[in-house]
Amino acid sequence: MGDVNVHIRQLYDSDPRPTFIVDCEAPSTTIYHVNTALLAIPHIALSLDSHNALRDWWDPASRVESRFQTEFRHGRYRWAKFAPCSRFLVVTILQQPPAPLQQPNHLPEPAKLSRIASPLYGTQPDTIFTVRIQSPELRQHIEHIRKFDWSKTSLGPISNWGYELNVLVTTLMLETRPTALFLGPERTILYNLAYGAVSGSRHPAILGQSIFDAWPELADPVSATVARSEQTRFADVPEEEYHFMVERYGFVEESFFMWSLVPLVGVGSITGMYSIVTEVTKQRLLERRVNALLRVGQLASKARTSKQFWAQVGQAIRLYEYDFPAAILYSHWEPESWDNQDVRRGLQGRCTLEWTIGYRSDHPDIPQNLRLDEDIGLSRAFTDSAKDGPAVLYKQQDGILPMSLYTDLETRGFGDPLKAFLVLPIRTYDENVVGFFLVGLNTRRPYDDEYKDWINVLSNLLGASAALVALHEEEAKNRKRQEEQAARDREALNAEVATLTQEASNAVEKLRNFHEIADQVGLGYFEIDVHGMLLHANETYLTQTGHRRDFVHGPPFAFKEYIHEDDLGMVEEQWKTLVAGEPVTFEVRWKKQPSEQQGEKHVDDDCLWTLSACVPIKGADGLVTSIFGCNTDISAQKEATKAAVMRSEAERRLASFTELAPVGLYHLNEDLSMRYCNDQWFHITGHPKVTMDQVDWRNIVDEDLIEACYRDVNMTRHKQESHTFSTHLKKKWKGPDGVITSTWILVTATAYTDGTIMGTMTDISQLKWAEAVQKTRVEEALESKRQQENFIDMTSHEMRNPLSAMVQCADSITGSLSEMKAILRDEAVTLQPTQEAQLDDLIDNSLDAIDTIQACATHQKRIVDDILTLSKLDSKLLVISPIVLRPLTILQDAYKMFKDEANKVGVDLEVRCDPSIEEMEIDWAILDPSRVLQILINLLTNAIKFTQDQEVRKVEVIMGASREVEKVPSIEYVPQETSRRDFLIEPEHDHTGEVFYLNFTVKDTGCGLSPEHKAKLFLRFSQATPKTHVQYGGSGLGLFISRELSELQGGSIGVYSDQNVGSTFCFYIKSRRALPPLNTCPATDIGTNLENDATTRSKADIIRDMNTNHEVAVSDALFLPKAEQMTESHSQHYDILIVEDNLINQRVLSAQLKKLGHNVYVANHGAEALSHLSQTMFSTAPTASPPIPLSVVLMDIEMPVMDGLTCTQRIREMEAAGELNGHVPIVAVSANARREQVERAKTAGVDDAICKPFHVSELTALIERLGIQAG
């Protein structure tokens, strides 16, 4: 079958008709073979697979109606098709257009390459590289291609080129038109000999390069065309024109080319584009030059004068910057010089510069005027050109024209320096030179015959147009002469007519003309006889004076009733003068009629001013017969005069105000020079007082601030609104403290539409000094407050350490004495009755002493706590932290804390809920329980303290609720002095619940208060009486703090008390209903007796919550030990490491813990603690054997060598690094009681914290609550 295919191809290759074969049985219609004759027509062969009308005709899969035709005409060719068998379809060209008559003699004959065939022939085909080429030029070009290293491109070496590629290259070389192939993904360029010719100096360097490197100026358009053609598989833009520069024969030429790009489709595996280039430089240059001529002729035809003509010529050629890169035009004729023979010959005269193109206006070698009799520069060139012909060429090397004309150019055209000029004398038809046109030659076109022909046509066109303009001007001069002569004739005729008319007219006609003129100009005229009768008046006079229209029947001197009363005397005097025969002119006021008063407003609302000019009319006898006069309305002038006076007065007042103003006033011109400034401006700035044109405001400002001042002024102009800014001046200012600083000013500036700036300047140096003093005092106050807080913290720390030792020693002694009593009661111990009684007394006395010590310690701690809370209040840092809980638990906590203390002193303590709690169904609410409990602790402490010595000892605590604030009528509430922020609006809380108020009442049967004593309650450092402090102790801060806490929670506090009867304290707070949190127990029945409620929390829990949430626990009851608490047995025993630098506290706490059965180790600072920790079971590599057991670390904070926070952080780092096993429990034991100090310890890594002083029972309860396993 392979041999058959070879024979078929050979058969059709021998056919001289261009033919191709289609394989109809292929999966998709495929061109099976293209014969040699068709390959000789590359643009047809390459477009066979394109989707066009030809393919629709021969493609069997097509659906167009034309596919049933056996013949088809496409373009210039007539095609036919037939099917020799079911598989193949043969398509051939029946008729071709005639071949060109001549071919370039350097190209070979196509018959020489007829042996190129498909490799299926089994023989090596002839290619353009194997046959002998007759043309030496083509042979040299093919040798360039053969020697190029194609292996560096995607095409590979020539020896590996396939059949299709050899066919394409052979066809390319035989093409007479400039043609190129862009092959492969990088578009490697391969071109024929004609293409190399149009490539200029780029040939042969661009051979084998990417098209984008060879022609970088065409990279973008070619990329777009290639991408579009590859996508559509069709050359949808057949030809595009490109304008670029080509270097030929050592000269860069402006060139135009038409490029066509055809995708290579269906030619084996070859990918790329087939490009044919046609140079159209001559056509485009011809079009551009013809357009320039047309534009010159079109614009020049509109000119009617020489000035217009020169301007239109310049406007026409200015657009064509490539052909006119520079041009100069001088005129050489004037209307009066047409008959001058010297001018006609162009040998003498003057030239005037009309315009230049490409040069600056002040070019030194282009004078405005020049004489032709000078043998230098332009004059010589113009004189020579007038003699030599239509256009004279001057090159740079000639040295005739100044060198600056070639080089000193503005950027225009190609931007190249000029190499030559043409001087065109502009001649009219009579050979009269009327101008000289100096034009620079296109730097990228040769001055060839076509260029010369175009210049000659341009010269003739300019001459013809100039002649036409000259003709127009000559006609205009003739018309002007004729019009002037006609005007002189008309003037002579008019003068004669006027003379005759003047002689024929009479006085009445003259008077009538005068009347008409007077009416037109608004002049009121009149005539009155000597008896006062109005003889005649025009309408203007009647309107001005308001005189009645039927004046003929009026009484004598009727005009007087219309004159203003104040002017009557003056008018009568003027009348006497007129009757005496003297003319007068005077101003008079006329009463205005009511209708006129509604119109235009005048100086006087009820009158109209006129200027009256009157002359006496005398008869033949010389006596005055009548008075003739005219009135001119001068009301507007009077009003303007009055306005001017008022304006002058206003200006005088303004000037007085500006000079007396306490601020500096200024007015700047558009260029920011000073137009006006007042004396105060000079006083403030220290500028010497000079005239306004010598004032420079920049001299008063420091140099580094001038730019900022400019910026502020420009901002005023930009925003068109007032702008205020401050700055300081060079002038110095001495403050009250004697310190010398710069003068500070506050400047206001307002921009106006005329560009000027007006504003004020105020000296604010005193204010700046006051601000600096205030800032210094504030900083000093803040520093003093910081030092005060540090002192309070240090005092609290130093007082809590010994207090802790005192409390713990007292606990230890109490426990020891209780054990002694138990031993005495033991039947095994026998003593004498007197000895037993003595021991009992000693033990009881010791216990009383211990109670005194505990009370004193409690009292001292309460003072410290009150001072800390007060410090927090003063710093505005005391925070209300509401949570969701049952309010009932607050009463339970209070009862739990004070139950034992009340029983000890015989006080009956009762807590209960008001029925309103059950009625409002109060269950879960949002509030801060620790702050509420802090108030209750203060009130209960005072209540028990002042009740324990009374006969009736009862304290009652009641909790109620209300939807609105309900104050108990008998209670005197403390008025709130400052507004407080609503603590319930925090974003983390639910805001949907109902707001209500919780109120608490604490009643006691104590000593009560007198009215003067009650007035001192709730004040800072205040107690009811000095006796109160002596008898009961206290700091005088508890009730003040309670007042602050109640107000911070949206409430208030008050008291009702009778002396020797008892007291009732009430306070209320704001709260909000809330949903119960998850995993909560059912609510306790409100009716349950709170005193016996087993669900109440332990005292240690309450203390811990208060110490965790806030700085202090403020109840004396928290520090009253119980013997049973101290002697109770602990089921669990811990291995405890105490890290404490205070040896007393270390020894006391160690003894207490050992007494309770715990194993205790001590370390003096953090470094020793880490050393001990390396010996314990927590260490991954313990240094002790066996490892020491350890349950918990009690870590002090303030220690030498290594403090507690650093030690804790190091332990946590060791845990993270795997140096320790598990988690080491750490409890911070410190005298630092502020909340931020506790939070800082927890951040460092402690599990919990307890503040000094504390009872050991509280510490052990905390350890148990942490879930620490006993050793």
What are the pLDDT digits (tens) for 920-943? 999 999 998 888 988 998 899 889
Stretch 276-305: mean pLDDT, rounded? Answer: 86
Q: What is the pLDDT of residues 210-265, one digit of tens each?
A: 888 888 877 777 777 777 766 766 655 556 777 878 777 777 888 888 877 777 76
Stretch 308-319: mean pLDDT, rounded? Answer: 89
Q: What is the pLDDT of residues 741-784, one digit of tens each?
A: 889 989 999 988 888 889 999 988 888 888 888 888 877 777 77
Do residues 300 and 373 both lie within one domain? Answer: yes
The reported pLDDT for the residue numbered 108 is: 37
pLDDT at 869 over 80: no
The reported pLDDT for the residue numbered 328 is: 92
Q: What is the pLDDT of residues 443-475, one digit of tens each?
A: 888 888 888 888 888 888 888 888 888 888 888
Q: What is the pLDDT of residues 501-530, one digit of tens each?
A: 676 666 556 666 766 776 777 788 888 998
Helix (H, G, I), strand (E, B) or coil at 616: strand
CB-based burial label for 532 (10 Å; 0-12, 13-18, 19+): middle
Do residues 373 and 473 both lie within one domain? Answer: yes
Q: What is the pLDDT of residues 1132-1141, one digit of tens each?
A: 789 999 998 8
Q: Which of 40-49, 362-371, 899-908 has the lowest mean pLDDT?
A: 40-49
pLDDT at 426 over 80: yes
Q: In this structure, what CATH number is given to the domain that contains residue 541? A: 3.30.450.20
Percent of the chain with pLDDT over 70: 78
Separation CA 961–CA 913 (nearest Å): 9
Q: What is the pLDDT of residues 962-984, one digit of tens each?
A: 999 888 888 888 887 776 777 67
Grade residue 1203 by pLDDT with cuts at 50, 70 and 90. very high
Considering 593, 610, 642, which residue would you say is the last residue of a domain? Answer: 642
Grade residue 384 by pLDDT with cuts at 50, 70 and 90. confident
Give the largest Cα separation in the chain, rounded. Answer: 178
User: Which segments of 132-216 are extended strands (E)?
Assistant: 179-183, 188-191
Contact between residue 1077 and residue 926 where contact means Cβ atoms under 8 Å apart: no
Residue 1129, CA distances (Å) to 182, 1133, 1257 in order: 103, 10, 11
Grade residue 1200 by pLDDT with cuts at 50, 70 and 90. confident
Do residues 672 and 793 both lie within one domain? Answer: no
Separation CA 488–CA 494 (nearest Å): 10
Residue 859 lies in a domain: no
The reported pLDDT for the residue numbered 907 is: 92
Q: In this structure, what CATH number is given to the domain that contains residue 995? A: 3.30.565.10
Structural domain containing residue 163: 119-279
| Other residues' Cβ atoms within 10 Å of the Cβ of residue 51 | 12
Do residues 1027 and 939 both lie within one domain? Answer: yes
Count of CA atoms in the C-beta half-sphere (13 A) of 924 = 14
Considering 235, 263, 279, which residue would you say is the last residue of a domain? Answer: 279
Residue 852 lies in a domain: no
Cα 512 from chain centroid (whole Å): 79
Do residues 165 and 220 both lie within one domain? Answer: yes
Contact between residue 537 and residue 524 where contact means Cβ atoms under 8 Å apart: yes
- Cα–Cα nearest to 801, from 857, 870, 868: 857
Residue 618 lies in a domain: yes
Q: Which of 10-14, 344-348, 897-901 has the lowest mean pLDDT?
A: 344-348
Contact between residue 53 and residue 66 where contact means Cβ atoms under 8 Å apart: yes
pLDDT at 916 over 90: yes
The reported pLDDT for the residue numbered 100 is: 44
Residue 895 lies in a domain: yes
**Distance between the two ends of the chain, CA-based, in angstroms?**
101
Is the preceding peptide bond at 100 cis, omega within 30 degrees of 0? Answer: no
The reported pLDDT for the residue numbered 1031 is: 41
pLDDT at 844 over 60: yes
pLDDT at 96 over 70: no
β pairing state of 954-962 and 908-913: parallel
pLDDT at 1068 over 70: yes
pLDDT at 58 over 60: yes
pLDDT higher for 291 or 863?
291
Residue 656 lies in a domain: no
The reported pLDDT for the residue numbered 913 is: 94
The reported pLDDT for the residue numbered 1193 is: 95
Do residues 717 and 752 both lie within one domain? Answer: yes
Do residues 527 and 636 both lie within one domain? Answer: yes
Structure tokens at 430: 């009579």
Do residues 39 and 172 both lie within one domain? Answer: no
Separation CA 1237–CA 1234 (nearest Å): 5
The reported pLDDT for the residue numbered 790 is: 66
Q: What is the pLDDT of residues 1006-1065, one digit of tens each?
A: 888 877 777 767 665 445 444 444 343 444 577 888 888 888 888 999 998 888 888 999
The reported pLDDT for the residue numbered 1089 is: 41
Do residues 1092 and 1236 both lie within one domain? Answer: no
Grade residue 17 by pLDDT with cuts at 50, 70 and 90. confident
Separation CA 317–CA 442 (nearest Å): 13
Do residues 194 and 275 both lie within one domain? Answer: yes
Residue 48, CA distances (Å) to 22, 166, 277 in order: 11, 18, 21
Residue 245 lies in a domain: yes
Residue 114, CA distances (Å) to 179, 180, 922 in order: 21, 22, 113
The reported pLDDT for the residue numbered 593 is: 67
pLDDT at 116 over 50: no
Residue with token string 């590359």: 42
Considering 759, 777, 804, which residue would you say is the last residue of a domain? Answer: 759
- Cα–Cα nearest to 264, from 196, 162, 120: 162
Q: What is the pLDDT of residues 660-711, one digit of tens each?
A: 778 888 899 988 888 889 888 888 888 898 888 888 888 888 888 888 888 8
Q: In this structure, what CATH number is given to the domain that contains residue 453? A: 3.30.450.40
Stretch 1147-1168: mean pLDDT, rounded? Answer: 90
Percent of the chain with pLDDT over 90: 15
Stretch 407-411: mean pLDDT, rounded? Answer: 85
The reported pLDDT for the residue numbered 10 is: 64
pLDDT at 1108 over 60: no
Q: What kind and span of H or E run contains 1062?
A: strand 1062-1073
Stretch 158-173: mean pLDDT, rounded? Answer: 83
The reported pLDDT for the residue numbered 1137 is: 95
pLDDT at 43 over 70: no
Stretch 364-392: mean pLDDT, rounded? Answer: 83
Helix (H, G, I), strand (E, B) or coil at 1076: coil
Separation CA 740–CA 745 (nearest Å): 15
Residue 554 lies in a domain: yes
Q: What is the pTM of this model?
A: 0.35
Number of structural domains in the chain: 7
Separation CA 1232–CA 374 (nearest Å): 108
Total residues found in the chain within this entry: 1271
pLDDT at 1210 over 90: yes
Q: CA 142, 144, 146, 150 torsion: positive or negative?
A: negative
pLDDT at 208 over 90: no
Average pLDDT over all residues of the chain: 79
Helix (H, G, I), strand (E, B) or coil at 191: strand
Separation CA 338–CA 1264 (nearest Å): 130
Q: In this structure, what CATH number is given to the domain that contains residue 1138? A: 3.40.50.2300
| Other residues' Cβ atoms within 10 Å of the Cβ of residue 771 | 12
Residue 1015 lies in a domain: yes
Q: In this structure, what CATH number is given to the domain that contains residue 68? A: 3.30.450
Grade residue 1187 by pLDDT with cuts at 50, 70 and 90. very high
pLDDT at 46 over 70: no
Grade residue 1189 by pLDDT with cuts at 50, 70 and 90. very high
Do residues 932 and 1056 both lie within one domain? Answer: yes
The reported pLDDT for the residue numbered 330 is: 92
The reported pLDDT for the residue numbered 875 is: 62
The reported pLDDT for the residue numbered 253 is: 85
Contacts of 647 (CB under 8 A, 6+ apart): none
pLDDT at 1120 over 50: no
Do residues 1141 and 1231 both lie within one domain? Answer: yes
